[in-house]
Amino acid sequence: TQLLEQSPQFLSIQEGENLTVYCNSSSVFSSLQWYRQEPGEGPVLLVTVVTGGEVKKLKRLTFQFGDARKDSSLHITAAQPGDTGLYLCAPRAGTYKYIFGTGTRLKVLA
């Protein structure tokens, strides 16, 4: 059984603050995706990371895949209320399967 842990579970911060959320596992993955899910909507893909140590940037969001491809982090700079949502990591766990974490629920207060 592959265990996937996302932390923190909940995060409430003020607009303008920086934050980092984590996705950790004891398993090695070939790739990993990050999604954001807003209330009443389905998840939307933000990024896919493939190479150990890879860093990808999407505006104020920085994604990193661990060197050993067992973990990943998402850093948000100068958070805005529009960043509010559930952030899900989803490592590839087989030929065509992705497994999802329980997510980090972020609330950015204006």
Partner 1 sequence: ETGVTQTPRHLVMGMTNKKSLKCEQHLGHNAMYWYKQSAKKPLELMFVYSLEERVENNSVPSRFSPECPNSSHLFLHLHTLQPEDSALYLCASSQALMTGEQYFGPGTRLTVT
- Residues that bind partner 1 in the complex, under the rule CB under 8 A: 4, 40-45, 48, 88, 90, 92, 95-103
CA distance 65 to 82: 24
Q: Measured from the CB atom, is 11 or 88 closer to partner 1?
A: 88
Q: How far is the CB of 17 from partner 1 (least distance, A)?
A: 26
Tokens of 23: 């996705």
Tokens of 56: 């990808």
Q: How far is the CB of 78 from partner 1 (least distance, A)?
A: 27
Which residues, in sequence order, are CB contacts of 30 under 8 Å at separation 6+?
Answer: 50, 69, 92
Q: Measured from the CB atom, is 94 or 110 closer to partner 1?
A: 94
Q: Measured from the CB atom, is 88 or 108 closer to partner 1?
A: 88
Q: How far is the CB of 90 from partner 1 (least distance, A)?
A: 8
CA distance 98 to 50: 13
Question: Tokens 């909940």 map to which residue?
Answer: 10
Q: How far is the CB of 73 from partner 1 (least distance, A)?
A: 18
